[in-house]
C-alpha cells in the first residue's frame, strides 16, 4: 500500500492531524501538498499537545520523513519558528524535506491579505490573514518567489522588484498604504536562506523513488473539500486544492500511484470564516457542540460555527475525491443527546435535492431535511472495538456510512492517538 491521501471531507478541522499522526508510525513519508500555515492540525500524544501549522503531522513520528511539497506556500519565518518550537520540546526535525519549487509567503503577501479583507468589509472571506490567497495569486500570475530563489541573490532581487512594482501601486493608490521597500524584503528573505538550505530538496524525485521502492507515502491535506478553490463553496474557500487531485500536482506524483484516499469526517459539522453552511445551529445545541467539541480555531482562536452532520456534503466529498474510506472523528462529542438530527438531503425552492447543487444560489437557499437518529448516554471514550460501542452509536455510524458512500474504516472517540477504533486497516 505505497501511497495514500488523507484529506478533510468537510470545511476543515475534521481531525486530520490526529489521523495522520496515528498512521505516522507506520509510514515512511508524510507530505503536505497544499495550503500553508493557515492550517492548524492538533496532535495529542500522551499528555503532550502539539499544534502544527505548516509542518506535516508525521514530524512527531521518529521513523517518518516529513515533506513540504511544491504545492505548499511557505512562510519562512513560520517554518523556522515552528521547527525551533518543536526542537525545544525534544522533537527531532532534522529529516524535514522542503521542495525548492514551493512558493514563499513574504510580508507583502500577509499585508495584502489583511488589507484586502478590510477593504471587502462585510463581504470579507474571513481568511486566516496568513497571506495564503495573495501568495497563490502571485504563483498563478507568475510573479511568485520560490524557495530556490533564495539561493540566487540577483534573481531574487529581480523577482521581488517585479512583484512589488505592481503591488505597491495597489497598496498606495487603492488602499492608501505606504509602499513596501523591495531591498528590505530581499534582505529579510536572504537572512532565512542559510537556515532553510539543509532541508531543500528535489522532493518530487525523492517521493517517486520512494513509491517505486514500495515505501509508504501519506499525503496530508490541509483545509477540506468544501474549502477547495475549484470544488468548494467559492468564493468562501481557500486558494488551493485540498481535494485528492491536489496531492498529485502539489507533490509531483501521478494519479496512478495513489492507492487509497481517506476522507476525515467529523461526526457533526464545523466551519470557520464566512460562507454558506446549511446545517449551522444558532441555538443551545450549537453552543453545546462548540463547548463539548472544543471547537475553537487552532490558528486564529476564532470560535468555529457548529451544526449537525450533513450527508449531502459527505457524499459530495466521496464523489470529488474518489474516497475509498472515511475516518469518522469526534463521535464521543455526540454522547448525551437523546436524538441526533442528520441532514439527509436539502430542500431547495420546494424541491428535495440529494446531491450538492453546483449553483451557489441554490446552495445558499438549501434547507436541511433531517432524519432523527436515536442517541446514547454511555461514555464511549474507552471503546476499542466497534462492538464495544452502544447499539445506538453503532447504528449512527452505520447510517452515516450508508448515506456517505464509502466505508468508515476508523472512528475517533477522543483526541488521543489511542482513542481510536480501527475497523479496517488503512495500510493493508
Ligand atoms: P485538523 O485541522 O483537521 O487537524 O483538526 P483540528 O486539530 O483543527 O481540530 C480537531 C480537534 O479535535 C483537535 O482539537 C483534536 O485534538 C480533536 N480531535 C480529533 N479527533 C478527535 C476525536 O475523535 N474526539 C475528540 N473529542 N476530539 C478529537
Ligand atoms: P485545517 O487544515 C478550517 C478557512 C478560513 C477562511 C477560508 C480562507 O486546520 O483544517 P485562507 O486564510 O486559507 O485564505 O482562508 O478558509 N480556512 C480554514 N478553516 N480549517 C483550516 O485548516 C482552514 N484554513 C483556512 O477560515 O474561511
Ligand atoms: Mg485545523
Q: What is the pLDDT of residues 335-356, one digit of tens each?
A: 999 999 999 999 999 999 999 9
Looking at residues 257-277, what average pLDDT do you find? 97
Per-residue confidence at 360, pLDDT binned at 50, 70, 90? Answer: very high
The answer, yes or no, to whether residue 1 has pLDDT greater than 70, is no
The answer, yes or no, to whether residue 303 has pLDDT greater than 80, is yes
Q: Work out the mean pLDDT of the chain and round it to a whole number.
A: 97
The answer, yes or no, to whether residue 300 has pLDDT greater than 90, is no
Looking at residues 107-134, what average pLDDT do you find? 95
Q: Is 326 helix (H, G, I), strand (E, B) or coil?
A: strand
**What is the H or E stretch that residue 290 is in?**
helix 284-292
16 CA to centre of ligand 3 in angstroms: 8
The answer, yes or no, to whether residue 77 has pLDDT greater than 70, is yes
pLDDT for res 402: 98
358 CA to centre of ligand 3 in angstroms: 26
pLDDT for res 299: 83
42 CA to centre of ligand 1 in angstroms: 6
The answer, yes or no, to whether residue 297 has pLDDT greater than 90, is no
How many residues are given for the chain? 428
Chain centre to alpha carbon of residue 42: 11
The answer, yes or no, to whether residue 52 has pLDDT greater than 70, is yes
What domains are there in the chain, each with its CATH number? 3-91+202-422 (3.90.170.10), 103-198 (1.10.300.10)
Helices marked H in 174-243: 182-196, 203-212
Per-residue confidence at 361, pLDDT binned at 50, 70, 90? Answer: very high
Residues lining ligand 1, Cβ inside 6 A: 8, 12-18, 40-42, 44, 294, 298, 329-330, 332-333, 412-415
Chain centre to alpha carbon of residue 124: 20
Q: Residues 320, 123, 344, CA angle at the centre, nearest 5°?
A: 35
pLDDT in tens, 382-411: 999 999 999 999 999 999 999 999 999 999
Quote the CA–CA distance of 230 and 239 in Å, as a whole number. 9
Show which residues are catalytic.
Answer: 13, 41
Q: pLDDT exceeding 90 applies to what percent of the chain?
A: 96
Looking at residues 62-82, what average pLDDT do you find? 97
Amino acid at each position: 500500500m505505497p501511497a495514500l491521501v488523507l484529506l478533510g471531507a468537510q470545511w476543515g478541522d475534521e481531525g486530520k492531524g490526529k489521523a495522520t499522526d496515528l498512521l505516522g508510525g507506520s509510514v515512511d513519508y508524510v507530505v503536505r501538498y497544499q495550503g500553508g500555515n493557515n492550517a492548524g492540525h492538533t496532535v495529542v500524544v500522551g499528555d503532550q499537545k502539539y499544534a502544527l501549522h505548516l509542518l506535516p503531522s508525521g514530524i512527531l513520528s521518529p521513523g517518518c520523513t516529513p515533506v513540504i511539497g511544491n504545492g505548499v506556500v511557505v512562510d519562512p519565518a513560520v517554518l523556522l519558528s515552528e521547527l525551533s518550537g518543536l526542537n525545544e520540546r525534544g522533537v527531532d526535525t532534522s529529516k524535514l524535506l522542503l521542495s525548492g519549487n514551493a512558493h514563499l509567503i513574504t510580508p507583502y503577501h500577509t499585508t495584502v491579505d489583511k488589507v484586502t479583507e478590510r477593504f471587502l468589509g462585510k463581504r470579507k472571506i474571513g481568511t486566516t490573514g496568513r497571506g495564503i490567497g495573495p501568495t497563490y495569486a502571485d504563483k498563478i500570475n507568475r510573479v511568485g518567489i520560490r524557495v530556490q530563489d533564495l539561493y540566487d541573490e540577483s534573481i531574487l532581487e529581480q523577482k521581488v522588484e517585479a512583484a512589488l512594482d505592481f503591488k505597491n501601486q495597489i497598496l498606495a493608490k487603492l488602499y492608501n498604504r505606504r509602499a513596501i521597500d523591495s531591498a528590505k524584503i530581499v534582505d529579510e528573505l536572504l537572512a532565512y536562506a542559510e537556515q532553510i538550505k539543509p532541508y531543500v530538496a528535489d522532493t518530487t524525485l525523492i517521493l517517486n523513488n520512494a513509491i517505486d521502492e514500495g515505501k509508504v507515502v501519506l499525503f496530508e491535506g490541509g483545509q477540506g473539500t468544501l474549502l477547495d478553490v475549484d470544488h468548494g463553496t467559492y468564493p468562501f474557500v481557500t486558494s488551493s486544492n485540498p481535494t485528492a487531485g491536489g496531492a498529485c500536482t502539489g507533490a509531483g506524483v501521478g494519479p496512478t500511484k495513489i492507492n487509497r484516499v481517506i476522507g476525515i469526517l467529523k461526526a457533526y459539522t464545523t466551519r470557520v470564516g464566512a460562507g454558506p453552511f446549511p446545517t449551522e445551529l444558532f441555538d443551545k445545541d450549537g453552543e453545546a457542540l462548540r463547548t463539548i467539541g472544543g471547537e475553537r480555531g487552532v490558528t486564529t482562536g476564532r470560535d468555529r460555527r457548529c451544526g449537525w452532520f450533513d450527508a449531502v456534503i459527505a457524499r459530495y466529498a466521496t464523489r470529488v475525491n474518489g474516497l475509498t474510506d472515511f475516518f469518522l472523528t469526534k463521535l464521543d462529542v455526540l454522547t448525551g443527546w437523546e436524538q441526533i438530527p442528520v441532514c439527509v438531503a436539502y430542500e431547495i425552492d420546494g424541491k428535495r435535492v440529494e446531491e450538492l447543487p453546483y449553483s451557489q444560489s441554490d446552495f445558499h437557499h438549501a434547507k436541511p431535511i433531517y432524519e432523527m437518529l436515536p442517541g446514547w448516554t454511555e461514555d464511549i471514550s474507552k471503546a476499542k472495538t466497534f462492538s464495544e460501542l452502544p447499539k445506538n452509536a453503532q447504528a449512527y455510524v452505520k447510517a452515516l456510512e450508508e448515506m456517505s458512500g464509502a466505508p468508515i474504516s476508523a472512528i475517533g472517540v477522543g483526541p488521543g492517538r489511542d482513542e481510536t477504533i480501527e475497523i479496517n486497516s488503512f495500510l493493508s
